[in-house]
Chains A and B, each alone.
Chain A
């Protein structure tokens, strides 16, 4: 199999895993967030209080992110027989502290090993043995052991390094990360690149690196804000339907859905996509530069009350929104003028 095709296939399996993971993250993330919001910082190490229990439920869910990713990547590759071994090896990856990347690796290894074993020639008499005992047993043992003794070791070291780096980051590095995550979130508005940033931010949240999770979550609402402001600033560049859509997108953006921006991007990708990417990167960069974070899984606007510095946070949002809006309108305006010029020229030719 050629490498490009293989890469494409892997991406699809990875995306399937993330797709199953999303409801888990929203459920567990929101519970954890609510607990911190209402219970304060003391909820982290207690189950004596109500909010402590809510926190515990949420955090238990967050702890399942890595096994879930592993299990469903394996499921996507090798169907049903991959699921259970994928979960178990994912829990091993989690126990080792190999994090998100560890879970991806165990999922992929499990999936392909199961596929390999499926092809193993075996007498039809023991066919049932194969699916019920041999495949799950061998896969779990081999991948689990390989993970613990060999593959997991560097991954754990890498994950720890990454976490420390994220936690210790400030100034230019933080700005760059904030801008990069913002740009990725905006680039395809809920598509694969957005989801890579989303997965990264979520994993960072689960390991307590709030700078990355804040930057990622901040990026969710900026693209709709950009288009909303843009439709307000210059009505002539947009059809009635588009202006209506700007409002709808904004409302969706308020509750944390980026996808409302897609119709704009489909209609005019060259003007819209670069502008929302720049706008979101600007917001993420400014906010990260000042080190504003929040310890919730709430998106852009809903997180405002829980940020460490709400004023700077809101200013970052607005600057990004306005920069993106101006950019998209300038590009649209230029395109419109060029179009008018060419039609005028054609008109003269006809005379």
Chain B
């Protein structure tokens, strides 16, 4: 089964960060895909991805308007990078793209 991890972060870290997380989780659930989303909002890193989460993930989604903190954790992973508003508006498409990327590896 495909496994996705994601990081969301917007500028103020109040709204877009969490809306993007909600949308990613919603559409992943629809497609029956396991997803864990780390938020890097105004409160700092929440729901932090563990080393194991990252290792097991087939693909990483960065849904960010800023830089990802501790980006080197994701070295050598397949990364799909989009803005937060893209995920909020077209969440299904983004998840679809991520799945395609993950399956490309098999």
Could you tell me which A residues sit within 8 Å of B by CB distance? 12-13, 15-16, 18-19, 22-23, 76, 79, 188, 190-192, 195, 257, 259, 262, 266
Nearest B residue (CB) for A190:
B12
- B66 interface neighbour in A15, A79, A188, A259, Cβ under 8 Å: A15
Q: Is the CB of B67 within 8 A of A13?
A: yes
A195 to B11, CA, bound (A): 8
Could you say which residues of chain A place their CB within 8 Å of the CB of B71? 79
A190 to B84, CA, bound (A): 12
Q: Is the CB of A262 within 8 A of B15?
A: yes
Could you say which residues of chain B place their CB within 8 Å of the CB of A16? 66-67
Q: Tell me how far the C-beta of B94 lies from the nearest C-beta in chain A, rounded to whole angstroms.
A: 14
Q: Is the CB of A192 within 8 A of B67?
A: no
A18 to B13, CA, bound (A): 11
**10 tightest CB-CB pairs across the interface, nearest first?**
A259-B15, A16-B66, A76-B67, A16-B67, A19-B11, A15-B66, A15-B11, A195-B11, A19-B66, A15-B65
A22 and B19 in contact, given A12-B67, A76-B66, A266-B88 (Cβ under 8 angstroms): no
Q: Is the CB of A257 within 8 A of B67?
A: no
8 additional contacts, CB 8 Å, given A76-B67, A190-B12, A191-B65? A12-B67, A15-B65, A15-B66, A16-B67, A19-B10, A22-B12, A191-B85, A257-B14
B16 within 8 A of A: yes
Q: Is the CB of A191 within 8 A of B16?
A: yes
Q: Is the CB of A190 within 8 A of B16?
A: yes
- B12 interface neighbour in A13, A19, A76, A79, Cβ under 8 Å: A19
Main secondary structure of the interface of B (DSSP, over half): loop
Could you say which residues of chain B place their CB within 8 Å of the CB of A12? 64-67
Residues B83-105 near A (CB distance < 8 A): 85, 88-89
Residue from the set B12, B42, B85 with the largest chain A CB neighbour count within 10 Å: B12
**Chain B residue total in the interface (Cβ 8 A):** 18
Q: Is the CB of A266 within 8 A of B15?
A: no
A190 and B67 in contact, given A262-B19, A266-B88 (Cβ under 8 angstroms): no
A192 and B11 in contact, given A13-B67, A266-B88 (Cβ under 8 angstroms): yes
A190 and B11 in contact, given A13-B67, A76-B66, A266-B88 (Cβ under 8 angstroms): yes
- Work out how many contacts link A and B, with CB atoms closer than 8 A: 53
Could you say which residues of chain A place their CB within 8 Å of the CB of B14? 190, 257, 259
A79 to B69, CA, bound (A): 9
A16 to B66, CA, bound (A): 5
Could you say which residues of chain B place their CB within 8 Å of the CB of A262? 15-16, 19, 88
A191 to B13, CA, bound (A): 10
A262 to B14, CA, bound (A): 12
Q: Is the CB of B12 within 8 A of A195?
A: yes
A190 and B88 in contact, given A15-B66, A16-B67, A76-B67 (Cβ under 8 angstroms): no
Q: Is the CB of B65 within 8 A of A192?
A: yes
A66 to B95, CA, bound (A): 39
A235 to B67, CA, bound (A): 41
- A191 interface neighbour in B11, B64, B89, Cβ under 8 Å: B11
A165 to B11, CA, bound (A): 29
A266 to B90, CA, bound (A): 10
Could you say which residues of chain B place their CB within 8 Å of the CB of A19? 9-13, 66
Q: Tell me how far the C-beta of A251 lies from the nearest C-beta in chain B, rounded to whole angstroms.
A: 14
Q: List 12 A-B contacts (CB under 8 A).
A: A12-B64, A19-B9, A19-B13, A23-B42, A188-B85, A190-B10, A190-B11, A191-B85, A257-B14, A259-B15, A262-B15, A262-B19
